Amino acid sequence: MNSDSSNEEATIAEPTVLVEILKTLTKMEERMGKIERKFDQIERITFKLEEIENAVKTINERNEQTENSFVGLSTVVDDVINQCTGNKQEIQELKLEMEKIGSEVKKSNTAKVTDQSNVIQKMEESLIDLKCRSMKNNLIFSGLQYQKDEHVEEKLRNFLQNELKINHRIEFGNAHRFGKQGFNGTRPIVARFLFRKDLEMVLSSAYHLRGKPFGIKEQFPFEIEQARKKLYPILKKAKQDGKMASLVRDKLFINGKLYMEEKIKTHSQTPAKMTQQKIEATNQSPPIPPRSKRARTESDNSPIRRNLRNNIYNASTSTSSDTCNSPRKNISAGSDLNILCLNCCGIKSRVNYPEFKDIIDNHEIVCLVETKTDDIDVINLPGYEFKMKNRKKVTKTRSGGITVGYKEHLKTMIEIIDTECKYVMWFQVNGKAFNLDKPVVFGVVYIPPEYTRYSSDEAVNEIEQEFLRFSNISNYICLLGDFNARTGCDDDFVIINEDEHGDNNLSDFIENPINALEALSIPTKRESMDKGKNRYGNMLLNFCKGNGVFILNGRLGRDQNIGRFTCRNASVVDYCISTPELLKTFKDFEVLDSSKLLSDVHNPLSITFFCDKNLAIAHAENVDYFSKKNTFTKIKRWNSEKIKDFQNNIDVEKIAELEYKLTNTDLTVVNKNIINSLIDDLCNIFVKSGKTTFGT
């Protein structure tokens, strides 16, 4: 039984051992498989290492080649550096030699140029002296009418006899016309006198030509004329001061002494420069005699009425941003004075636009025309007061209209002036703001377009009448607005050639407003993009010429030498016009970009003045320049049936007194002030008779 049990145990134990052996073999097989796989990986790594080894060998070979190349290149670079060093030394030596040669050549040329300049200057002086000697017996006569087939010498003899009261026969070596046509279409006459004493007699009799459209002067070379032109203002000032002054060629003698304060360079100009100046002088307009004083008309006696200052609106400054295509201006209470002028083509709808409010806010004073308002309209913009001059009191169809607005803090320095002319609205600004002794008078103008039912050929004339009345009170006047006048590039001034009158003492009575432009370096020739002209333009140019005022478009500020269009991008009809005395206060003038939000067709004008508003506000007590004591009493219309009464009412004693003054006036010391005083006395005599005869 025990043996059976042992056999059973042995039988059970044998499979267990086999299983264990099998498991062990299986594990060994798995491990062998893993080992084989590792060997495969090792083989692949070995292969890659061989490849890397080959690559490293290749790199080493290339490195050796590169090192060899660098060694060769280093040798080449060393050779180049050595060569450059040698070249640098050679260049330095050459440079020193060139500088030495250049210095020697410069010294030689300077000496030669100096010698040649001295020779040329002496030749120029000799040439000018010869010219003077050849022209010694020549006189130039201007203003003599041209006639076809005229005999110039006989015309001159008749002129000398009739105008200068020279009765004996003058002998001429030669006489002929030359140069450009003058204001009346005639060219001047140059005459050579055979005898010097005849020439001196003519010059001594030239005083007979005072107030007449004729001129006499000696002929000089161009270079001498330029020097004399510089001396004329000094000569004129000396005579006004009561000194004895005379010009001999290009030398000025004052009280018998040669004027040496400022050396007048006559002969130092180069020939090219002198030629250019001659061309410029030739292109200038011919001389025009002084404008005669206009006879007083009835409208000159119209009173200038002043409104009481009424506060129509109250309001505050808008702070919205400026969206117009123009740089925003920084404004403070004491800064420059900025004025806007715009034909807004109706204001009521535009005051609601932020862009319109912004451009208004950029300016202290706003001048708007064609506002299309009537007396019941109210303009409400914060911070501004507005005054209106409407075409009609109340109407369904509105047109025209002028409005002036200003910031509330400036109301003490601005005053509206009421006048009769419907084409202009006047206001004054305290002159202290501009450091002036009198107020600055502004006229905001709107003249309806020609060939419309509102147009008037008398518009410019009516404005001129009021302008003249204000001119008697203040020299500082500015007109701005829509004139509907196209002036092209034509001159708005007349040329008063002081050379024409320098030798017959007429220069004492001639004021040349162009001097104001030249003194401020403002171009005398204005530019304009609009080359067209119309009838109103000719009227405006005549107004400027007759009153000595200047158009600033195309002349001043950012518009200088441009003359931008102001209407429909096709014409210039909006202007700023100034008297010469006011020009010094202008800082800038600009034609801003147009916008349908500001106006249908017009560009705004922006004008900046040098101004201290704090000073004006501190001295707010405006001098009443326009009170009744300074204005004219209106005289009733002329009545032809009362001519005899008018003559009888003329103060005979005053006439006799005036005649005595005229008879006893020393012609050698007559000046502008004396003439103005005599004319005022004569006008007062006639005005007094008119008041007595026709009433007021």
Whether 423 contacts 445, CB under 8 Å = yes
Q: Where do we find the tokens 């030398």? A: 251
* Calpha distance 409→618 (Å, rounded): 11
Q: Classify 134 as helix, strand or coil.
A: helix
Q: What does CATH list as the number for 298-616?
A: 3.60.10.10
* Calpha distance 54→49 (Å, rounded): 8
Q: Among the ranges 177-191, 302-316, 476-490, which has the highest mean pLDDT value?
A: 476-490
pLDDT in tens, 643-690: 888 888 898 888 888 887 888 777 777 777 788 788 888 888 888 888
Q: Does the pLDDT of residue 267 top 50, yes or no?
A: no
Q: Classify 432 as helix, strand or coil.
A: helix
- Least confident window among 295-299, 301-305, 601-605: 301-305
Q: Which residues, other chains included, contact 407 with Cβ-Cβ below 8 Å and sequence gap of 6+?
A: 317, 364, 365, 383, 384
Report pLDDT for 329: 42
In angstroms and rounded to an integer, the radius of gyration of the C-alpha atoms of the chain is 47
Closest CA to 468 of 668, 603, 253, 631: 631
* Calpha distance 340→364 (Å, rounded): 8
pTM (two decimals): 0.49
Neighbouring-strand partners of residue 613: none
What's the average model confidence in pLDDT over 129-151?
A: 85
The reply to whether 298-616 shares the fold of 134-283 is no
Report pLDDT for 265: 45
pLDDT in tens, 197-243: 889 899 888 888 888 888 898 888 888 888 888 888 888 888 888 88
The DSSP string of 596-644 is: TTT-SSBPPEEEEE---HHHHHHT-----TTSGGGSPPPPPPP-GGGHH
Farthest CA pair distance, the chain: 198
Whether 423 contacts 429, CB under 8 Å = no
Whether 286 contacts 181, CB under 8 Å = yes
pLDDT in tens, 152-201: 898 899 899 888 989 888 889 889 998 876 655 678 999 999 888 889 89
Q: Does domain 134-283 have CATH number 3.40.640.10?
A: no
What's the average model confidence in pLDDT over 281-308?
A: 40
Structural domain boundaries in the chain: 22-114, 134-283, 298-616, 640-694
pLDDT band at 462 (very low <50, low <70, confident <90, very high): very high
First to last CA, the chain: 178
What's the average model confidence in pLDDT over 442-449?
A: 96
* Calpha distance 380→348 (Å, rounded): 9
Whether 413 contacts 622, CB under 8 Å = yes
Closest CA to 430 of 413, 442, 447: 413
* Calpha distance 192→268 (Å, rounded): 29
Whether 177 contacts 146, CB under 8 Å = yes
* Calpha distance 646→295 (Å, rounded): 17
Please give the mean pLDDT across all residues of the chain.
80
Q: Does the pLDDT of residue 299 top 60, yes or no?
A: no
Whether 381 contacts 360, CB under 8 Å = yes
Q: Does the pLDDT of residue 498 top 60, yes or no?
A: no
